[in-house]
Amino acid sequence: AQKVTQAQTEISVVEKEDVTLDCVYETRDTTYYLFWYKQPPSGELVFLIRRNSFDEQNEISGRYSWNFQKSTSSFNFTITASQVVDSAVYFCALIDNTNAGKSTFGDGTTLTVKP
């Protein structure tokens, strides 16, 4: 069975601080895909990144970076120099071969960035 755990329910930081959101996943498949989505107060989830299980290279996109470590089954997300507009709920998700087409989401981490 596939499972995604986001242990941090809520995080609050002050603007310009760096913040890391943790994601731990479980799957029996060797081929799988990991995702991060952002859900602002408007409610619409927005895709941020996808990684496949064969690509462990870390990725940086502007102030966002992702650290994928198969050894610890983690796919953590770091926001550098956070801004108030980063305030949202962030979800980590997993698709594996056994459950093709079906994304399993964590329960999300609510990030509040205070000015």
Partner 1 sequence: GAGVSQSPRYKVAKRGQDVALRCDPISGHVSLFWYQQALGQGPEFLTYFQNEAQLDKSGLPSDRFFAERPEGSVSTLKIQRTQQEDSAVYLCASSLPTGRAGELFFGEGSRLTVL
Residue 115 interacting with partner 1 (CB under 8 A): no
- Segment 41-70, which members bind partner 1 (CB under 8 A)? 42-47, 50, 52
Distance CA 74, CA 25 (A): 6
CA dihedral of 92, 24, 70, 56, whole degrees rounded to 10: 30
Q: How many residues bind partner 1 (CB under 8 A)?
A: 25
Distance CA 34, CA 49 (A): 8
Length of the chain: 115
Closest contact distance (angstroms) between CB of 111 and partner 1 is 15
Q: Which residues contact 72 (CB under 8 A, 6 or more apart)?
A: 24
Stretch that binds partner 1, among 11-19, 56-64, 71-79, 105-113 (CB under 8 A): 105-113
Provide the CA 38 distance to its chain's centre, in angstroms.
8
Instruction: Match 């996109």 to its residue by tokens.
Output: 61
Per-residue x/- track, 25-44, partner 1 (CB under 8 A): --------x-x-x----xxx
Stretch that binds partner 1, among 22-30, 54-62, 75-83, 92-100 (CB under 8 A): 92-100
User: Footprint of partner 1 on this chain (CB under 8 A)?
Assistant: 4, 33, 35, 37, 42-47, 50, 52, 91, 93, 95, 97, 100-108
